[in-house]
Amino acid sequence: MRWIELADRVFASRYAELDQTLGLVVGDDRCLVVDTGTDEHHGAEWAAAVREVTALPWTVVITHAHWDHFLGTAAFPGADVWAHPRCTAEIDGHARDQAESWAERYRESGRDDLADRLLAARVVRPTHEVVDHVELDLGGRSVTLVHPGRGHTDNDVLVHVPDDGVVFAGDTVEQGAPPSIGKDGYPLEWPAALDALLDLGPRIIVPGHGEPVDPGFVRGQRAELAVVASLFDGVRSGTLSVDEAVAQSPYPAEATRPALERGRVA
């Protein structure tokens, strides 16, 4: 892992696997852990790294219900775990399905160790809900958890540290690869979710995957996603074929075709 100090007692932690970025915000009385990693082994490494920075009690926030963001939660015993209620429902209903699907992908690529770790991870259910926004007092600083609307998923949560202008965006923003729209993204609504993020006035935005970025990067990604939204709408209305829309996408075909295929049957 590699630490990035974003502001006073505000950190991002970078991992080579999946190009993932986790977060830590430290107050006077407690700390907030942003996402818990891919499995319990990874979560334990992350928890140990947090403990090298602070011994304060920890609270966890899960930015959305994709396995690589929540299957390490068992490594944070005693923590309150915040998430959107639809995130909790997805974890309850499909965490094992996600683990099995990705374990199969790891085995196909010869990474049996990661597959085994993934399948062994215990699923920890969130304990607290972020329906719209929640303000957490960490002691000497407040952090706001915000649901910006549907975008990468229907359960995304942003973590806003207003005194330092930092937003942990989960996969609502992605750097180093195209945004993952996939089978559960909302291309028509994602630009509005990014508007909600930008309305927070951040100085630094931390993606769930990739390096921290500035508002200009997010505005650029919003413009790209607005193009994808228009193409999705064109496929849905029948004015564009999927192939025509893919040819006009700002992203590679493999990144947008699955979403556009959904538009064809929406």
The pLDDT tens digits of the residues spanning 60-117 come to 999 999 999 999 999 999 999 999 999 999 999 999 999 999 999 999 999 999 999 9
Residue 176 in this model has a pLDDT that exceeds 80? yes
pLDDT at res. 263: 72
Complete domains list, the chain, with CATH: 2-214 (3.60.15.10)
pLDDT at res. 78: 96
Residue type, 28: D
Q: Measured between alpha carbons, how far is 120 from 103 in angstroms, rounded to an integer?
A: 10
The structure's pTM equals 0.97
Average pLDDT over residues 115-131: 97
Contact 83, 65 (CB under 8 A): yes
pLDDT at res. 182: 80
Q: With bands split at pLDDT 50, 70 and 90, how would you rate the model's confidence at 264? A: low
Read off the pLDDT of residues 25-63 as tens digits, 9 standing for 90 and up. 999 999 999 999 999 999 999 999 999 999 999 999 999
Residue 157 in this model has a pLDDT that exceeds 60? yes
Average pLDDT over residues 217-229: 97
What rounded mean pLDDT belongs to the chain? 96
How much of the chain exceeds pLDDT 70, in percent? Answer: 99
Q: Flag the least confident range among 48-52, 122-126, 202-206, 256-260.
A: 256-260
| Strands (DSSP E) found in the chain | 2-7, 10-14, 21-26, 31-34, 58-61, 80-83, 128-129, 133-137, 142-146, 158-161, 166-170, 204-207
Q: Flag the least confident range among 136-145, 203-212, 255-264.
A: 255-264
pLDDT at res. 265: 54
pLDDT at res. 206: 98
Greater confidence (262 vs 148) lies with 148
Q: With bands split at pLDDT 50, 70 and 90, how would you rate the model's confidence at 262? A: confident
pLDDT at res. 259: 87
The alpha carbons of the chain give a radius of gyration, in whole angstroms, of 18
Structure token pair of residue 54: 């602070």
Residue 266 in this model has a pLDDT that exceeds 60? no
Other C-beta atoms within 10 Å of 129: how many? 16
pLDDT at res. 125: 97
Contact 49, 60 (CB under 8 A): no
Residue 140 in this model has a pLDDT that exceeds 90? yes
Q: Measured between alpha carbons, how far is 54 from 76 in angstroms, rounded to an integer?
A: 14
**21-26 and 142-146 strand pairing:** unpaired
